[in-house]
Homo-oligomer: A and B are copies of this chain.
Amino acid sequence: MSWFAVKTRERNLQDGLVHPCNMCAVRDHSVCASLDADEQARVNQIMTQIDMGDGSTIFDEAEPATHVFNITSGGVKVYKLLADGRRAITGFLFPGDFLGLMHRESYAFSAEALSATKLCRFPREKLERLLEEMPKLEHRLLGLASHELAAAQDQMLLLGRKTAKERLASFFLLLSNAARRHGRPDNPIELTMSRGDIADYLGLTIETVSRTVTHLKRDGIIQLLEGNRIQLSRPAKLQELAGLT
């Protein structure tokens, strides 16, 4: 997206001419991108913007799935729990990402804001009715779902077969790539989530995450900067560790 397009969008946004979800289009994943003005207006009508504070719950697993969401700013963690409290974070979502499955009566996971987060909220029933008339939107959602599915399979490979070191390397590269896609600097990456969240995402304990980060630091592969940021000093080595070779 060119500088001009961004600026135009910002102006239109200020004037209330553009659906705020379009802000997310930097990742070309927003729900509304590729719709014409009339269609956008209709999607607009059923949408509500909401703000969530740091750590607040967006919805819980098994709750009736009344809404779906599109993230405008901030970050979200999606997770599942076992009966005894063990947790697996199945994904971190950022601006432009879609939250909530279609075609389901209840949520299959819980979602919580990582930091102050803005969301566009859609009543699922209304959105599904809209989808019947707007195949383009459904096409887009299918694209998003395919993308998520591919990411989920990468994660299954990570959880099933990678060592702690390899998991951390993969994780840092994932964040770096996500940052680049969102048009933000991809090298000193920023960890917006706690060590506990990282552990539950990578299927490790907090202590193993901490130790492994220390090892990577000692090996000169990464550097810890202030503000929970990480410098990827040897990206090629990280790639190798991540097993993407």
Interface of A is mostly: helix
Tell whether, in the assembled complex, residue B150 and residue A104 are in contact, meaning their CB atoms are under 8 Å apart. Answer: yes
A82 CB contact (under 8 Å) in B101, B145, B152, B157: B157
The number of times this chain is found in the oligomer is 2
A118 to chain B, nearest CB (A): 24
Q: Which of A95-150 contact B (CB under 8 A)?
A: 101-104, 108-109, 131-132, 135, 138-139, 141-143, 145-150
User: Which B residues touch A143, using CB under 8 A?
Assistant: 102-103
A155 within 8 A of B: yes
Find out whether the CB atom of A152 lies under 8 angstroms from the CB atom of B145. no
Check A146–B203 contact: CB distance below 8 A. no
B109 & A200 in contact (Cβ 8 Å cutoff): no
A residues within 8 Å of B by Cβ?
78, 80, 82-84, 86-88, 90, 101-104, 108-109, 131-132, 135, 138-139, 141-143, 145-150, 152-157, 159-162, 200-203, 243-245
Name the distance in Å between A42's Cβ and chain B's nearest Cβ: 16
A101 touches B152 (CB 8 A): no
Residue contact B154 to A156, C-beta cutoff 8 Å: no
A236 nearest CB across to chain B (Å) = 14
Assess the A157–B80 pair: CB atoms within 8 A: yes
In the bound complex, do residue A88 and residue B142 qualify as a contact, i.e. CB atoms below 8 Å apart?
no
**Are A108 and B156 in contact, CB atoms less than 8 angstroms apart?**
no
CA–CA, A202 and B108, complex, Å: 21
